């Protein structure tokens, strides 16, 4: 083969390589928990050398934090009504396990005044239903806490993914009861 016939291998732009790694990590998280995924697994799935995980993200924690933030942004902008979910989605389960791993690995990453798009979106849904801001936020935290508990402790609680719908229906009934009770007081 003549040198002119050898295909020229071009470097992947950093933003494309980072997007490839994030996509690969997300796909792997659908099948395995984060503690079972290695940097080499992600690199192989993305088609990039594992050294770029450190170079581009500062390591596995940085990459998984990027994945987490992206998943939260997507979940919080999901057009499907947050409060009408009837079963646990794979992405929700993956997100909860990733959050648990990130907190266990580097809990300081969640300290301070960080945006909370998911809490804000659920709070907004409850405010639209008629709750005041403080109560709406407390209910949003309840829903998120319930979801986290159902994922992490499903066996202990004796619940399945399909039980989420019943719990969301109960949360909505509680909101309606709160609204009715407050209307009666006025």
Domain region containing 121: 61-185
Does residue 29 lie within any of the structural domains?
Answer: no
Provide the residue count of the chain: 186
Does residue 171 lie within any of the structural domains?
Answer: yes
φ, ψ for residue 2 (rounded to 5)?
-75, 150
Asked if 77 and 54 count as a contact pair (C-beta separation under 8 A), the reply is no
pLDDT in tens, 87-96: 567 788 899 9
Asked if 175 and 126 count as a contact pair (C-beta separation under 8 A), the reply is yes
Does residue 68 lie within any of the structural domains?
Answer: yes
Helix (H) or strand (E) holding 86: none
Mean of pLDDT values over 120-131: 86
pTM: 0.80
Does residue 8 lie within any of the structural domains?
Answer: no
pLDDT band at 79 (very low <50, low <70, confident <90, very high): very low
Return the sign of the alpha-carbon dihedral for residues 161, 149, 152, 95: positive
pLDDT in tens, 155-186: 999 988 778 778 878 887 888 888 888 888 87
E strands, 3-124, are none
Residue identified by tokens 């791993």 is 101
């Amino acid at each position: 083969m003549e040198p002119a016939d050898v295909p020229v291998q071009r470097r992947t732009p950093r933003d494309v390589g980072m997007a490839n790694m994030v996509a690969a990590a997300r796909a792997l998280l659908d099948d395995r928990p984060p503690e079972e995924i290695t940097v080499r697994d992600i690199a192989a799935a993305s088609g990039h050398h594992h050294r770029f995980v450190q170079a581009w993200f500062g390591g596995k924690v940085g990459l998984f934090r990027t994945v987490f933030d992206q998943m939260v942004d997507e979940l919080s902008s999901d057009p499907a009504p947050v409060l009408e979910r009837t079963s646990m989605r794979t992405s929700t389960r993956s997100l909860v396990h990733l959050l648990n791993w990130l907190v266990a690995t580097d809990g300081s990453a969640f300290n301070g005044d960080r945006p909370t798009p998911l809490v804000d979106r659920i709070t907004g849904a409850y405010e639209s239903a008629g709750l005041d801001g403080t109560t709406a936020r407390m209910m949003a935290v309840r829903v998120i806490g319930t979801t986290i508990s159902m994922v992490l402790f499903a066996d202990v609680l004796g619940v399945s993914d399909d039980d989420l719908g019943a719990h969301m229906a109960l949360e909505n009934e509680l909101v309606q009861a709160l609204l009715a009770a407050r209307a009666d007081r006025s």
